[in-house]
Amino acid sequence: MAVCAVLVTEPAPAPAPARAGEASPPAALPAPGATVSRVPMGPLRTLESGGRKRTYQVHRPQGLSAGAPLWIVLHGSGGTGTDMRALHDGVFDRIADRERLIVAYPDGYGEHWNDCRPRASYSANLEDVDDVGFMRALTRTLAAEDGADLDHVTVIGISNGGHMVFRLAFEAPEMARRHVALLANLPAPENDDCHHSGGAVSMLLVTGGDDPINPARGGLVNLAGNTTRGAVLSSDRSALALATLAGHTGPPELRRIPDRALDDGTSIEVREWYAPDGPAVAWIQVVGGGHSVPTRSKLPKWPPALEAAVRAAYGRQSSEFETAEIIFAFSSSGRLRLL
């Protein structure tokens, strides 16, 4: 599943490929995040997993003591760990420095993750890459080499990376304390070949109500004519299914958040299922939002024709909140205290 994810501060030249979150847009369009980031690339580390050499970057703030919480951030289709590190001008690194976290940015196989959708046309699925095994090996390595606390792991993914978060929640629910899926709905039952362990997980979903790629009402994912990713559930059915898995039986708490960005054409609805002794599930619906990650960062100024084309491909970009800050609130407390 694709994403127009990384809107940083300088527009890309028109022929630039999508390099900031998910799969490439139609050939004539740049992805809104296709810029040369000012965030320096960290040393590329390697890890043998499943007979393959896998790569990843780590941001570990200076002077950090052992036992720090760990965030694992998963890019979308056609992306890399570097793209996710550059998201919103390096917002994950900045939060790590402020809150004393370790952040890992792994690279998918062939720029994709082997999620639950069995007919997807990318090589990670076609070659049945063991990305669950890679994530397990990565967390163990980060604990041994960087002092990460494996009792405080949050796994975050955008689009195809969000679908990989679903796979981890289903098949390795004990691996992470919190799960965050951005711009992804659960695959429809007939489009799901994952093993469902039945383990309850704490999950945050962020979806766009007018997402042209990940359909809010459910149905076929269509990425520039590629429909091999198959069908997904609606956003509300996805959230309800995850709440049910977590043991919640009642309705969620619903909050409609007052507009903070009056000119972006979006608004926010939050639904939370919370119990003091159980895993929390939260769903943020960006009403009017598209296939892009909400940010309070300054957005690039596109020429009018290009802006219209990008919006047609990806939908509206919301400026109602900074996604990474919401993730921190959820990962640390299980609540959305910033909304």
Per-residue pLDDT of 163-209, as tens digits, reads 999 999 999 999 999 999 999 999 999 999 999 999 999 999 999 99
pLDDT at 206: 98
pLDDT at 145: 96
Average pLDDT value for residue range 266-290: 94
Does pLDDT of 19 surpass 70?
no
Q: What average pLDDT does the chain have? A: 88
- Provide, for the chain, the percentages of residues in helix, strand and coil under a 3-state DSSP scheme, each rounded to the nearest 5: 25, 25, 55
Does pLDDT of 334 surpass 60?
yes
- Alpha-carbon dihedral sign for residues 176, 179, 181, 185: positive
Tokens of 138: 């990565």
- Given pLDDT bands bounded at 50, 70 and 90, which one contains residue 15? very low
> What is the CATH T-level fold of the domain 45-332, as seen in this structure?
Rossmann fold (3.40.50)
Does pLDDT of 18 surpass 70?
no
Q: What is the pLDDT of residues 56-91, one digit of tens each?
A: 999 999 999 999 999 999 999 999 999 999 999 899
Domain ranges of the chain: 45-332
Task: Say how far apart CA 139 and CA 332 lie, in whole Å.
Answer: 18
Please state the pTM of the whole predicted model.
0.90
pLDDT higher at 13 or 168: 168
Average pLDDT value for residue range 109-124: 97
Query: Could you count the other beta carbons within 10 Å of the beta carbon of residue 26?
Result: 11
Task: Say how far apart CA 253 and CA 268 lie, in whole Å.
Answer: 14
Return phi, psi of residue 56, to 5°: -165, 160
Helix H or strand E encompassing 126: helix 123-126
- Given pLDDT bands bounded at 50, 70 and 90, which one contains residue 38? low
pLDDT at 1: 39
pLDDT at 295: 94
Q: Helices (H) and strands (E) in the chain — how many of each? A: 8, 12
Is beta strand 148-158 parallel, antiparallel or unpaired with respect to 68-74?
parallel
Average pLDDT value for residue range 105-111: 98
